[in-house]
Chains A and B, each alone.
Chain A
Amino acid sequence: DQQVKQNSPSLSVQEGRISILNCDYTNSMFDYFLWYKKYPAEGPTFLISISSIKDKNEDGRFTVFLNKSAKHLSLHIVPSQPGDSAVYFCAANYAGGYQKVTFGTGTKLQVIP
């Protein structure tokens, strides 16, 4: 049972344009969401997070939007840069779950110069 789903395995975007990565979840108990970025041969690195009490969190070029009623979140990267090419994982956990984090299957983003 995949509780966190990233339905697009890959995405290609031109440099300078917006990249939108989507994530859906099914578990209503999730109340904290995170995005990680992973380069080949490296472990994932934390990118940005959002608590369920918010609907938007922004950090530089990265913005995460949360729609609780739709159980959907998205990561916007503006403007996209070639260095953003990586696999992006959506993740979620819940109060009391501590570090028991549920990850999606990842979306491979390619930013074309």
Chain B
Amino acid sequence: KAGVTQTPRYLIKTRGQQVTLSCSPISGHRSVSWYQQTPGQGLQFLFEYFSETQRNKGNFPGRFSGRQFSNSRSEMNVSTLELGDSALYLCASSLGVIQGGWQFFGPGTRLTVL
């Protein structure tokens, strides 16, 4: 079974631009979560989608948004990029139907904002 894939793997943008990241979950997984990882901050939860609906949201500004398609693929969008948005963005998928079910992570997209 193929793992979680994320595209692109690396991205360089400038302040004020917008970016869209993509995530394809493991086949059969209906939950997709997004995390931001920065040095010293660990993984910060952004949001979770389940069957095309946002089920949970973390404490990030409205510039961060996402969506999920009927095939469970998910996209994350960041508008008006700031230098502090430079981070590794990780996507994780799971069946999502039980609490505590572990998630399978993709390799991440490394975003650099100049």
Also in contact, A43 and B42, with CB within 8 A (given A99-B33, A99-B48, A100-B56): no
User: Is A100's CB under 8 angstroms from B48's CB?
Assistant: yes
Contact of A112 with B by CB under 8 A: no
Contact of B84 with A by CB under 8 A: no
Interface size of B by CB at 8 A reads 29
Contact of A101 with B by CB under 8 A: yes
Is the interface on chain A under 10, 10 to 19, 20 to 34, or 35 or more residues?
Answer: 20 to 34
Q: Which residue on A lies nearest to B97, using beta carbons?
A: A98
Chain B residues whose C-beta falls within 8 Å of the C-beta of A42 in the assembled complex = 107
Contact of A89 with B by CB under 8 A: yes
By DSSP majority rule, is chain A's interface helix, strand, loop, or mixed? loop
User: Is B31's CB under 8 angstroms from A98's CB?
Assistant: yes
Q: 8 Å CB contacts to B: which residues of A58-113?
A: 89, 91, 93-106
Q: Mark A23-56, 1 if CB is under 8 A from B, else 0.
A: 0000000001010100001111110010100000
Contact of B74 with A by CB under 8 A: no
